[in-house]
Structure 1
Amino acid sequence: MTSEEWDEFLGHFERRKLALGDCGRAYGTDCAHEHACVRCPVLIIHASERPRLVEIRDNLVSRILEAESEGWLGEVEGLQSSLSHANEKLAQLDAQINRKQESVDLGIPAFREIVARATGVAAPPEPS
């Protein structure tokens, strides 16, 4: 690998850092959503950016109201799509945050379960 190829490879990961988190697209692929990241399924939103995502969602609601009052039907359609995706991302992020805050009871193994594992190992056959 040449130094130029290596620089390009490292640069790909630097360019994946976005305002809301990281772009999860594979190395060597272009952005299929023309950097409309709220609509992109491979956007990985950082939990710390939740307030920013809420702000984006609220802004989309305001823009939809303006577009409806002005009769910009094409604009309404595109903004509603973005709003739907922003709401989905927000729900996914909230679910992720909640999962991280929940404790998981792994239980304590009973003595009979521990013994069963220890004695379940077959002894090597006796030489004849």
Structure 2
Amino acid sequence: MLARLTELEADLLQRRTQAEAEGWIGEIEGIDLTLTFLRAKRDETHRRAQRPTLHLGIPARRRPKESE
């Protein structure tokens, strides 16, 4: 997922450069907003990937109760 987010960021940066060259102010604002959310998502994904995994084990089967 991190690699895909990096690809998307590179594409957005290229689109932003083109929008600046063309003078598309509204497009630049939209791209900047998208970049903000994308970078936040990438940072969160990176943080989650750094967390250690927790081994919960395999639950034991319950034995049936004996009739009284």
* TM bracket (short chain): 0.7 to 0.9
| 2:30 paired with 1:78 | yes
C-alpha RMSD over aligned residues: 1.5
Q: CA deviation at 1:100?
A: 3.1
Q: 2:44 aligns with which of 92, 107, 111?
A: 92
Q: Which amino acid aligns with 2:39?
A: N
CA deviation digits over 1:81-126, x for unaligned, max 9? 001100000000000001136x8xxxxxxxxxxxxxxxxxxxxxxx
Among all aligned residue pairs of Structure 1 and Structure 2, give the percentage whose two residues are the same amino acid: 31
The structure with the greater share of residues assigned to strand is: 1
Where is the helix percentage greater, Structure 1 or Structure 2? 2
Q: Where does structure 2 lack aligned partners over 5 or more consecutive residues?
A: 55-68
The structure with the largest alpha-carbon Rg is 1
Work out whether 1:52 is the aligned partner of 2:11: no
- Per chain length, whose mean CA-contact separation is higher, i.e. which structure has more relative contact order (CA < 8 Å, sep 6+)? 2
TM-score computed with the length of structure 1 as normaliser: 0.40
Instruction: Provide the rounded CA distance (Å) in 1 between the counterparts of 2:6 and 2:12.
Output: 10
Q: Which amino acid aligns with 2:17?
A: L
- Amino acid in structure 2 at the alignment position of 1:75: E
- Structure 1 residue runs of 5 or longer lacking an equivalent are 1-48, 104-128
Letter in 1 for 2:14: S
Q: In 2, Cα distance between the equivalents of 1:96 and 1:63? A: 29
Q: Give the number of equivalent residue pairs.
A: 54
